[in-house]
Amino acid sequence: MATAILNSRKITQQTAFIFLALATVVTVTPVLFIIIYTTVKGGGAISWDFISQFPSQAGRAGGILPAIIGTFYLMLGTLVFALPIGVLAGIYLTEYARDNWLTRLINLAIINLAGVPSIVFGLFGLSVFVLAFQFGLSLLAASLTLAAQALAMVITTSREALLAVPREFREGSLAIGVTKWQTVRHIVLPQAFPGIITGAVLAISRAAGETAPILVVGAAFLLPAVPLSPLDQFMALPYHLYTAAAHVPNMPEETIWGIALVLLVVVLSFDILAAIIRIKTRQRK
Amino acid sequence: MGERFIEGWIFLAGMLAIVVLLGIIFILLKEGLPVFSHTKPWDFLFGTRWYPLADPPVFGITPFFVSTLMITLISTAVAVPIGVACAAYLSEVAPRKVSETVKPIIEILAGIPSVMMGFIGLALLSPFVQSLFNLPIGLCGLTAAIMLSLMSLPIIVSVSEDALHAVPKEFKEASYALGATRWETVWHVCIPSALSGIAAAIMLGVGRAIGETMTVLMVAGNALAVPVSPTDPMTTMTAAIANGIGNAVRGGPQYQAIFAIGLVLFILTLAVNIIAERVLERQKRKFAR
């Protein structure tokens, strides 16, 4: 009798664990499927011409060079605007801010900024950078918009990296008469550097894949030239994929998968880079 | 002098998060509120017709609101059980090696751009949904909801897993000491103890689903009627913004209406995120020692 109950409890456990494992399989399989399927379907489209030529026939033939360059510029622009400000904000929060209402307000703002939908950042960028600042539908306006969106993430990761630097490092430096900023600059920042870079890499990977904001602030589907100034219009990989997949009739299927594959490789390689930096620093410690 | 200068910049940078958030609120109010000069708030929020090009134009956001609600509910209903079960498996059942392989893969899922998910939904899932439900077209709320559930899984898994990890070891040991099996411990001890963290995970997933644009824009079908069934084509609030902003004249009635949708969207996601944050704080305090 007792063993029967024990057995049935064992069976319940086995069944439950199978379902839990199944849920994990359901979560993991689509990722692997998407990556493998995109590689197989898009691999055939990838050639030197595909990544080094301008598109022709409304994107149906030729390459995607200007979209790749545009995305590269967007990543660079996001980095240039979001990284220094994000790191300085992180320094303020960890090294200077006191525990008062202002600091709590900043933290509240960061948390909520992280949850603002990307399309709302697009409206913000359109109204402020495109129209009010008169940057027009440009690389500059889009970079600023993406940087505004990346800000919360860069601040959060910088703050965490700075907080992880042991207190003794600061005290040792201050004790020998070094000023606070010099301590931060020469002692704390170098220690926190890998963590900060990890956050920055993740942020630009996000910026590379982001579509909704640049759709609002004016990415173009086809342009005759690559942008030469920050005030020029631009093409971008994710927007190119969106238009090719959803709006261009008779688009060769292989080309769309090819664009998808290039986008996936760009975004995921930065994600993997971030993961490698993180693992390397953990090993060093 | 040099030191003061740089510290001034540090302070300004620290303030920037507040400035940007207030800036967003200000812009949405400034550009969005004038919609009420020509459309009554009641008609805007509960009107069932969106005819921006009619004369006079009609701006009722009920179709978008209902679409967002329906898609979010379905995607959450699909993602939560799977996500929590996955988190329970990773934190309580799986051998170390398995969870160490699975976690990076889930992180990759979080990194896949939403436009990519939209394309996958468009190319692969929608023909499947179409034939399964015998629909005239596979681009509908359900297809979008399935893609969104996939996209909200990473955050649900990772936050739930953190919550399960935070359950004190003594709880489990006490349960084992009473003769409970591992599963009984997971089901009767771990999950109930981590419930507020799991609730926060759900809220964060909901926030993600409400704010997601590209996937629903590409996959949900972009119909303007109030959806009745999940298999109807629909337009969410985010997709309505993306669809309309390109044609809207700056400062015109449609422009104002689109910013007003943005305002509603902002308030919704803000509320969801604040609740999630509150719940998460409480969870953290619960087992803090």
Q: At residue A1, does pLDDT exceed 60?
A: no
At B203 the pLDDT is 92
| Pairwise CB contact (< 8 Å): B23 & A128 | yes
Model confidence at A238: pLDDT above 60 = yes
- Confidence tier at B2 by pLDDT (50, 70, 90): confident
pLDDT above 60 for B69 = yes
Q: Indicate if the pLDDT at residue B261 is higher than 60.
A: yes
Q: Does B183 touch chain A (CB under 8 A)?
A: yes
Q: Which of A193, A106, A75 is nearest to B10 (CA)?
A: A106
Q: What is the pLDDT of residues B42-62, one digit of tens each?
A: 999 999 999 998 888 999 999
Question: What's the whole-number average pLDDT of chain A?
Answer: 91
Range B58-74 average pLDDT: 96
With CA atoms as reference, report the closest residue to A213 among A130, A97, A92, A110.
Answer: A130
How much is the average pLDDT of B284-289?
Answer: 71
**A contacts of B266 (beta carbons < 8 Å):** 116-117, 120
> Under a CB-based contact definition with an 8 Å cutoff, are residues B76 and B209 in contact?
yes
Per-residue model confidence as pLDDT tens digits over A132-141: 999 999 999 9
DSSP letter string, A25-81: HHHHHHHHHHHHHHHHHHHTT--HHHHHS-EETTTTEE--HHHHHHHHHHHHHHHHH
Which positions 123-182 of B are in contact with A (Cβ < 8 Å)?
123-124, 150, 153, 157, 181-182
Would you state the pLDDT for residue A83? 96
CB of B214 within 8 Å of a chain A CB? The answer is yes
Residue B35 contacts A, CB cutoff 8 Å: no
Question: When comparing pLDDT for B187 and B287, which is higher?
Answer: B187
pTM here is 0.93
pLDDT tier for residue A284 given thresholds of 50, 70 and 90: low
Over residues A218-231, mean pLDDT = 85
Mean pLDDT of chain B: 93
CA distance A264 to B281: 35
ipTM for this model: 0.94
Per-residue pLDDT, B63: 96
Q: What is the pLDDT of residues A58-106, one digit of tens each?
A: 888 888 999 999 999 999 999 999 999 999 999 999 999 988 999 999 9
3-state secondary structure of A203: helix
B90-125 tens-digit pLDDT: 999 999 999 999 999 999 999 999 999 999 999 999
Q: How confident is the model at residue A154 (pLDDT cuts 50, 70, 90)?
A: very high
**At residue A9, does pLDDT exceed 90?**
no
**Contact flag B10-A115 (C-beta cutoff 8 Å):** no
Residue A2 pLDDT level (bands cut at 50, 70, 90): low
